[in-house]
Amino acid sequence: MADLEKIMKEENIVYKKTKVLTDNVMHYCPGCSHGVVHKLIAEVIEELGIQDKTIGISPVGCSVFAYNYIDIDWQEAAHGRAPANATATKRLMPDKFVFSYQGDGDLASIGAAETLHACNRGENITMIFINNAMYGMTGGQMAPTTLVGMKTSTTPYGRNIDLNGYPMKMTEIVASLPGTCYVTRQSVHDAASVKRCKKAIKKGFENQAKKIGTSFIEITSTCNSGWKMPPVEANKWMEKHMFAYYPQGDLKDAERDNPDDYIKYIK
Amino acid sequence: MGELKLMKGNEVIAEAAIRCGCDGYFGYPITPQSEVMETLMARKPWETTGMVVLQAESEVASINMVYGGASCGKKVMTTSSSPGISLMQEGITYIAGAELPCLIMNCVRGGPGLGTIQPAQSDYFQACKGGGHGDYHLIVLAPSSVQEMNDFVNLGFELAFKYRNPAMILSDGAIGQMMEKVELADYKPRWTDEEIEKISGDWATTGKKANRKQHIITSLELDSEIMEKLNHKLQAKYKKMEEEEVRYEEIQCDDAEYIFVAYGSSARICQKSIQIAREKGIKVGLLRPITLYPFPTKPIQKLAEKVKGMLSVEMSAGQMVEDVRLAVNGKIPVEHFGRLGGIIPSPIEVVEALEQKIIGGK
Amino acid sequence: MAKIKGAVKVDIEKCKGCGLCVEACPTKTLDLSKEVNSKGYNYAYMADPDSCIGCANCALVCPDSVITVYKTKI
Ligand code: SF4
Ligand code: SF4
Ligand code: SF4
């Protein structure tokens, strides 16, 4: 124990909660990926020194209260419309850092149009996409990203393609749009993936300063409440099943397409 | 005297926006108001004043872009026509709930549904009684000339910022498409960051400085006790508007025995109808509400004490007439006359309606 | 010979007992306590303090950011 006292001194701290996170207790279920991603965004904001220049747009869904946890200015958007808020905010204040934070119901279902068009215009924003294959807040209904066979409260016998269509790979769709510069799929289920994800988020923010297009970061996540699994088991289930359908890693790391390449068609 | 120009109502909205220092316009094409965005795109204000103009992917996106821009303390606006305004209602109630200033112009066309592209006044209920969900009001201005289209852009922004509330210009296809001589306002520069800090510095999302708390723009509150308080705060604001912001015009009301109540295009028709009626010996005047919300209830009450009847003339099946009746409260007969489906009533039709429904109906 | 030694401090009241840190720890330092905090969660604690190497894996995966990590040479 004497040892512990020697170790646990201020000067020996190698990791602590960033000050950009508030002291509020998060309302998320134990083990929910949202908390980890919030932390990473906050750490990136701290490291880049942009707390006074960052505006977050929160969605409707479990992360509607994201503004209670990251100590920056926030707008709480209408369901699915965060990219529209972000578009105007960034265009009117081009020197600020603007990011949207949305779940799969918000971004891929009701807000699919806003998502695609913001990416297609190449808005200089960072879009954070939490894909846990389910509507968490409303109690575990099917999302566009729900895997086939996955049981949810609106697919009690498992998602069926004839009835419900195919699980939507939003990130692949977005990667095919010329306005995006950086599109990646990450996760936060273990220490290594957390570190990788943080790098990705940081890159997404740095791209804003370079004004090279939209950065889109999917974080394949768990919703242990909706999935009805303990957090550790949910992570394992995600690795086994979600990663197979939603492969991890960068899909695109470039700049938005060169506008000059497009003018030739009417020349 | 400002610069005089012959312009279309819709074009003037664009011109006035640039001149009043508007920061951003977000819109989607729809007849009969597409000239607003077309004029802006041709004028390229981003090269002169720095105003942002963006064609969004839908009306839903436009209004939420307005929501985002308004959250930053910027002077932002959108315009559309009836079906598009219906799509915007969700965004509008969020903006009202979050208490943000912005300007929306509805160039009304006949409905319901896709309806017609001809002028109508059938969106009165939608504009004045909410439109979206929840207890809220817009400030609603009803121009009846191209000059007023011009003037109400600046006035709309002023009122919107004074009350932190969305303002709507309720125009119609006739006013939007009509060409008239208009005296344009002088150019006002857009607000600087410092000015925005002064005007909206205690709420706008401009980036959290070290010396202040977070600014959070939201309409969400799960605690019912607090939500009720927020609602009371909104209601107090509306009450203040009702006391201080009522605008209207009275034409030949002094000796009138009968009154037309009409706004926008209908008010123009009624002015002609007054002439015709007076030639026939019928003493009729016009009360023209300029603010539809807050509604000129008191002036109508006053007139009801001295006239024999009122005819609410609207290009609708009878919407504003409900507010006229509420104001008159049974004292004198109040009837409605209007044409539907995009038809503008003729001045003679209006006089005949007065004779049949009010004078003959006694 | 100098040895790397680590330790963690868990903000017990804010811990939600999700167990992700326990799973992430390479040295099996952590476990969930039999005791609960005032919210009823079995909070995480150093069950084997000697084994901690201060790698911060636990803190990285903690969704509620309640772990502070210390590391030093002894
Ligand atoms: S319902 Fe799912 S997504 Fe929502 S907080 Fe709980 S675990 Fe997280
Ligand atoms: S990961 Fe965090 S919240 Fe979960 S048990 Fe460990 S310390 Fe507690
Ligand atoms: S710092 Fe590393 S070794 Fe120590 S408890 Fe955390 S994960 Fe285990």
Torsion of the alpha carbons at A70, A28, B100 and A81, rounded to the nearest 10: 100
pLDDT in tens, B57-83: 999 999 999 999 999 999 999 999 999
**Does the residue B207 lie in any domain?**
no
- Between chains, do C5 and A25 touch, taking CB under 8 Å as contact? no
Number of A/C CB contacts below 8 angstroms equals 100
Chain A residue closest in CA terms to C60: A191
CATH number at residue B59: 3.40.50.970
For B251, half-sphere exposure in the C-beta direction (CA atoms, 13 angstrom radius) is 19
A20-266 to CATH, choices 3.40.50.720, 3.30.479.30, 3.30.9.10, 3.40.50.970: 3.40.50.970
- For chain C, the three-class secondary structure string (H helix, E strand, C coil) is CCCEEEEEEECHHHCCCCCHHHHHCCCCCEEECCCCCCCCCCCEEECCHHHCCCCCHHHHHCCCCCEEEEEEEC
Given a cut of 60, whether residue B362 has pLDDT beyond it is no
**Does the residue B192 lie in any domain?**
no
Q: Rounded CA gap, B42 and A63, in Å?
A: 41
Tell me what percent of the residues of chain B surpass a pLDDT of 70.
99
Look up residue B237 and give its amino acid.
K
**Neighbour subunits, A (≥3 Cβ pairs < 8 A):** B, C
pLDDT in tens, A113-168: 999 999 999 999 999 999 999 998 888 999 999 999 999 999 999 999 999 999 99
Chain A nearest CA to C34, separation (Å): 17
Write down which residue in B154, B184, B214 finishes a domain.
B184
Residues B40, B163, single domain; the answer is: yes
Q: Give the pLDDT score at B12.
A: 98
Apex C72 CA angle, C66 and C74, nearest 5 = 140
Residues B174, B255, single domain; the answer is: no
Write down which residue in B184, B200, B224 finishes a domain.
B184
Phi, psi of B108 (to 5 degrees): -65, 135
Structure tokens at A254: 């470039």
Q: Rounded CA gap, B271 and B72, in Å?
A: 43
Contacts of A138 (CB under 8 A, 6+ apart): none
Write down which residue in B145, B163, B184 finishes a domain.
B184
Look up residue B149 and give its amino acid.
M
- Between chains, do C63 and A6 touch, taking CB under 8 Å as contact? no
The neighbouring-strand residues paired with A76 are A58
> Average of pLDDT values for C5-29?
97
Taking the Cβ of residue A187 and every Cβ of chain B, the question of whether any pair is shorter than 8 Å is answered with: no
pLDDT in tens, C19-38: 999 999 999 999 999 999 99
> Average of pLDDT values for A217-228?
96
B-C interface (Cβ pairs under 8 Å ≥ 3): no
Is C4-73 in CATH node 3.30.70.20?
yes
Question: Which of B69, B207, B210 is closest, CB to CB, to A88?
Answer: B69
Residue A33: which of A197, A203, A177 has the closest Cα? A197
Q: Give the pLDDT score at B39.
A: 98
Other beta carbons less than 10 A from residue A228's beta carbon: 11
Q: Give the pLDDT score at B139.
A: 98
Look up residue B341 and give its amino acid.
G
Chain C residue closest in CA terms to A36: C63
> Average of pLDDT values for A64-84?
97
CA of A227 to the centre of ligand 1 (A): 9
Phi, psi of B81 (to 5 degrees): -130, 165
Name the average pLDDT for chain B. 97
Mark B218-251 as b/e (b = at least 16 C-beta within 10 Å): bbeeeeeeeeeeeeeebeebbeebbeebbbbebb
pLDDT in tens, B261-272: 999 999 999 999
Look up residue B134 and give its amino acid.
G
* A27 vs B contacts (CB less than 8 Å): none
Q: Give the pLDDT score at B325.
A: 98
Q: Does ligand 2 have an atom closer than 6 angstroms to the CB of C59?
A: no
Q: Rounded CA gap, A61 and A64, in Å?
A: 5
Question: Are B294 and B246 within 8 A, CB to CB?
Answer: yes
Q: Rounded CA gap, C2 and A201, in Å?
A: 37
Q: Give the pLDDT score at A172.
A: 98
Contacts of A182 (CB under 8 A, 6+ apart): A203, A204, A207, A213, A215, A216, A217, A250, A252, A253, A254
CATH number at residue B341: 3.40.50.920
Helix (H, G, I), strand (E, B) or coil at A118: helix
Chain C nearest CA to A232, separation (Å): 6
Q: Rounded CA gap, A254 and B277, in Å?
A: 73
Given a cut of 70, whether residue A2 has pLDDT beyond it is no
Q: Give the pLDDT score at B32.
A: 96
Name the interface residues of C facing A (CB cutoff 8 Å): 5-7, 9, 14, 16-20, 22-24, 41, 49-50, 54-57, 59-72, 74
CA of B221 to the centre of ligand 2 (A): 28
- Between chains, do A25 and C18 touch, taking CB under 8 Å as contact? no
Q: Rounded CA gap, A49 and B297, in Å?
A: 55
Given a cut of 60, whether residue A84 has pLDDT beyond it is yes
Q: Give the pLDDT score at C1.
A: 63
- Between chains, do C63 and A26 touch, taking CB under 8 Å as contact? yes
Phi, psi of B270 (to 5 degrees): -65, -30
- Taking each continuous run of H as one helix and of E as one strand, the counts in chain A are 12, 8
**Does the residue B226 lie in any domain?**
no
Q: Does ligand 2 have an atom closer than 6 angstroms to the CB of C8?
A: no
Domain of B351 in residue numbering reads as: 249-359
Question: Which of B65, B76, B205 is closest, CB to CB, to A74?
Answer: B205
> Average of pLDDT values for A73-81?
98
Given a cut of 60, whether residue A1 has pLDDT beyond it is no
pTM: 0.97
pLDDT in tens, B162-176: 999 999 999 999 999
pLDDT in tens, B236-260: 999 999 999 999 999 999 999 999 9
Q: Does ligand 1 have an atom closer than 6 angstroms to the CB of A180?
A: no
Residues B132, B49, single domain; the answer is: yes
Reported as type and span, the H/E element at residue A199 is helix A191-210
ipTM of the complex as predicted: 0.97
* C67 vs A contacts (CB less than 8 Å): 15
Residue B350: which of B359, B334, B341, B338 has the closest Cα? B338
Helix (H, G, I), strand (E, B) or coil at A256: coil
Q: Give the pLDDT score at A267.
A: 80
The neighbouring-strand residues paired with A246 are none
* B74 vs A contacts (CB less than 8 Å): 92
- Between chains, do C24 and A39 touch, taking CB under 8 Å as contact? no
Q: Whose CA is nearest to atom 7 of ligand 1?
A: A223
What are the sequence ranges of the domains in chain A? 20-266
Q: Does ligand 1 have an atom closer than 6 angstroms to the CB of A225?
A: yes
Length of chain B: 362
Atom in ligand 2 nearest the alpha carbon of residue C67 = 7
Q: Does ligand 2 have an atom closer than 6 angstroms to the CB of C23?
A: no
* C16 vs A contacts (CB less than 8 Å): 29-31
